[in-house]
Amino acid sequence: MNWYKRLTPYIAVSLISMIIGATLMVGCAGGISGNKAQKPNTAESPFTALQPPTAQAQVSEARNTPIVRAAQTVGPAVVGITNKGIARDFFSNRKVMVEQGSGSGVIFDAQGYIATNYHVVANAQEISVSLADGRTMDGKVIGVDAATDLAVVKVDAQDLPVAILGDSDALMVGEPAIAIGNPLGLEFKGSVTAGVISALNRSLDIGERRFKLIQTDAAINPGNSGGALVNADGVVIGINSAKIALSGVEGIGFAIPINSARPILQSLIDKGRVIRAYLGVGALDPTTAAKYGYELKLEKGVYIVKVSLNGPAAKAGIREKDVILKVAGAETNSVAELRAILDTHQVGSTVEVVILRNDKKQTIDVLLEEMSEQ
């Protein structure tokens, strides 16, 4: 029994150690288990945002706006146009084809006809057309009209997407306007900008012609020329043509109304040019005279500085130094007004021209003829 008594303290100590160890192990296990229970829910982890999003069954109405639908409808019919010309290589002194500029165009006919601006294709030796689907093909200039800054290009292709041409006469100031084109070159092709129709029938004198244009605040930058101006119904209501580029002026862009462009485009397809009535005079107003360094003191009318030999005016008896006051009952106080009036009359029609000669008014009937290609 003495040996048992001597071992009893050691046994007791061992039992206590085992109990403490077991308690610690249970505590640790409980701690681990407790930590798992307290770990943040995976769904609430900030790293969840890095996981791929779940697929959506459909796009919400908040996102699928008329602008989105219009861009999806017309965007495939908007192309990039690259104007190429011949230049001489500096090192080899050989002629090479180089890019002279680029712009946009709108496919408006299934046979591959594309509307664009004249200045986009002016003086081109070759035309390259870049489609929205990534294809590039050669284009051919069918006809140009510098007076309205319109041109038609054709590509040989089938099943091309075609834009629907709308009614620009039905536009309302304040309604949405979407510009689609290639600002700053083909690197930004298919760019979409949105705004509103700011004004209708804006009169701008460009050169010696007066234009009635659509004004919009949708951003139109270099390269957008020839692209589409679209309404919220997804139809083309204008061909983007010009942007005021003055210091401090923003949000003023212009497009040729599609109703004005229609007959021009049709004439370019049919005849390669636009048939216009011709009066056969060279005229100046105070503004145009100042551009040439002359001072013209004239309160009304336009001053005739040249009469074309055997032209309609010469045949009717109009002379140099006459002042044209009215044509077909409309006042002509600028060269742009004179040209605008003539553009509304057909070749072969007769118009009354009121002139001032030696301080006396005269009315002369003039038979309008076709303007020559020169």
Q: Catalytic site residues?
A: 119, 149, 225
How many other β-carbons are positioned within 10 Å of the β-carbon of residue 286? 16
DSSP 48: G
User: Residue 202 and residue 319: Cα distance in Å, rounded?
Assistant: 34
Distance of CA 353 to the CA centre of its chain: 39
113, 154 Cβ separation under 8 angstroms? yes
Q: Tokens 């002194």 sit at which residue?
A: 93
Q: How far is CA 48 from CA 43, 44, 365, in A?
A: 7, 7, 83
DSSP string over 88-119: E-TTT--EEEEEEEEEEEEEEETTTEEEE-HH
DSSP string over 284-329: E-HHHHHHTT-----SSSEEEEEE-TTSHHHHHT--TT-EEEEETT
Q: How far is CA 182 from CA 81, 105, 116, in A?
A: 9, 9, 12
Q: Long-range contacts of range 49-57, CB-CB < 8 Å, 24 or more positions apart?
A: none
User: Residue 308 and residue 283: Cα distance in Å, rounded?
Assistant: 11
Q: How far is CA 170 from CA 46, 66, 173, 175, 231, in A?
A: 52, 18, 10, 11, 11
340, 321 Cβ separation under 8 angstroms? no
282, 304 Cβ separation under 8 angstroms? yes
